[in-house]
Amino acid sequence: MKTKLFLSVFSFFLTSSLFSQGLTFGIKAGANLGKIDGHAFKDEYNLGYHIGAFATLGAGKSISYEPDPARHLYLVPSAKVRINGIEANARDGIAITGEDRVTIEAEADAELVLVDAR
């Protein structure tokens, strides 16, 4: 139930902020079910999930996201961007943890993929 509520609220605020900035975007979500210890799968398993978004951000534009600082984010841009003032190049994989607010500024038109994983 918490996951559905989080997805709904996340989608609403992301949609509102992206449309107000004239961006194109999409949302992706999924679950991972895993077991490595060799016991029967029905005994116990690990369940994880991820939520992601992708957007096109025009040159000189910026977007902000306020994640839970305990979450792990992973960002891949298609062009040069600044994340909280730190430069990242095209196709760099940027791991983000412990941040209250993530601001992404595009130096050129950029497609962004952001995954929020548990």
pLDDT tens over the chain, length 118 residues: 555 555 555 555 555 444 445 567 677 778 777 776 666 656 677 777 777 777 888 899 998 988 888 888 999 999 999 999 999 999 999 999 999 999 999 999 999 988 887 6
How many other CB atoms sit within 10 Å of the CB of residue 2?
6
What are the structure tokens assigned to 36, written together?
């490595």
Quote the pLDDT of residue 104. 94
Quote the pLDDT of residue 32. 75
Nearest CA-CA partner of 111 in 1, 47, 39, 23: 23
Does the pTM surpass 0.85? The reply is no
Q: Are the C-beta atoms of 110 and 78 separated by less than 8 Å?
A: yes
Quote the pLDDT of residue 52. 76
Rounded Cα distance between 36 and 20, Å, is 45
Quote the pLDDT of residue 117. 76
15 backbone dihedrals φ, ψ, rounded to 5°: -60, -45
Summarised one tens digit per residue, pLDDT across range 26-45 is: 777 787 777 766 666 566 77
Domains observed in the chain: 2-117 (2.60.120.10)
What are the structure tokens assigned to 103, written together?
């601001």
Residue tagged 């029905």 (tokens): 42
Rounded Cα distance between 27 and 90, Å, is 21
